[in-house]
């Protein structure tokens, strides 16, 4: 089984993926971490030194290489992964692919992201007072791609464990 977790930054893809991995016994991977290992530097540094276009290119390559070379996995994609280079087609692939959109409300995401701006290259330069509007617009732009997941799971007011159990139920 190939489980893909998608959602905006701060939606908890990695934390939920790790928890789900314990429940279903399928190994968890994080695409951002795979990229960081391959490039031997942080995502933040890749954006800074080589730019977003380069990042989107290797993100696409590494996603497809990983998918081809692994038979059973839980993979957290980056928040933007489904929105570039036709990566969203992967979400709809054959039966063995189970894709989940971890959907948070704008309020939940803003709340989680407002203190983490520095870690995130796309939010880094957005002034505090413009953050809400930026996230709302960005989510609107990305909505089409996120909706390509086979299932949507809302995350607001739920614990990590509750969400992982909900995903597990969908796998049965
Ligand atoms: C991005 C999200 C990040 C990372 C990169 C770009 C995005 O991943 O891939 O900073 O475009 O939303 P997370 O969603 O895991 O933070």
Which ligand 1 atom lies nearest to the CA of residue 14?
15
State both tokens at 135: 């996230």
Cα(31) to ligand 1 centroid in Å equals 10
- Kindly tell me if the per-residue pLDDT of 119 is higher than 90: no
Which ligand 1 atom lies nearest to the CA of residue 122?
10
Q: Which of 57, 79, 135, 137 to mutate to test the pocket of ligand 1 (most atoms within 8 A of CB)?
A: 79
Q: Which domains, from first to last, does the chain contain?
A: 2-171 (3.40.50.300)
Determine how many CB atoms are found less than 10 A away from the CB of residue 155. Answer: 24
Across all residues in the chain, what is the average pLDDT? 96
d(CA 149, CA 146): 6
The predicted structure's pLDDT at residue 110: 94
The predicted structure's pLDDT at residue 165: 98
* Contact 155 CB / ligand 1 (< 6 Å): no
**In which band, very low, low, confident or very high, does the pLDDT at 171 lie, cut at 50, 70 and 90?**
very high
Cα(120) to ligand 1 centroid in Å equals 7
* Contact 32 CB / ligand 1 (< 6 Å): yes
**Which residue blocks in the chain are alpha helix, DSSP H?**
13-24, 31-39, 43-69, 106-113, 131-146, 160-171
Cα(70) to ligand 1 centroid in Å equals 22
CB-CB contact of 96 with 1 (8 Å):
yes
Tens digit of each residue's pLDDT (9 = 90 or more) over 62-96: 999 999 999 999 999 999 999 999 999 999 988 89
The predicted structure's pLDDT at residue 172: 84
* Contact 31 CB / ligand 1 (< 6 Å): no
């Amino acid at each position: 089984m190939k489980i893909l977790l998608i959602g905006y930054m701060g939606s908890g893809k990695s934390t939920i993926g790790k928890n789900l991995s314990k429940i279903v016994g399928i190994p968890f991977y994080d695409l951002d971490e795979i990229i960081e290992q391959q490039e031997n530097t942080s995502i933040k540094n890749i954006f800074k030194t080589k730019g977003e276009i380069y990042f989107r290119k290797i993100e696409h390559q590494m996603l497809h290489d990983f998918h081809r070379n692994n038979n059973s996995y839980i993979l957290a994609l980056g928040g933007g992964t489904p929105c570039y280079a036709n990566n969203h087609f992967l979400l709809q692939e054959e039966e063995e692919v189970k894709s989940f959109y971890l959907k948070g409300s704008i309020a939940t995401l803003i709340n989680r992201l407002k203190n983490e701006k520095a870690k995130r290259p796309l939010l880094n330069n957005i002034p505090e007072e413009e953050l809400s509007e930026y996230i709302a617009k960005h989510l609107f732009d990305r909505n089409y791609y996120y909706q390509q997941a086979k299932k949507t799971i809302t995350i607001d007011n739920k614990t990590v464990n509750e969400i992982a159990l909900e995903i597990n139920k969908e796998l049965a």
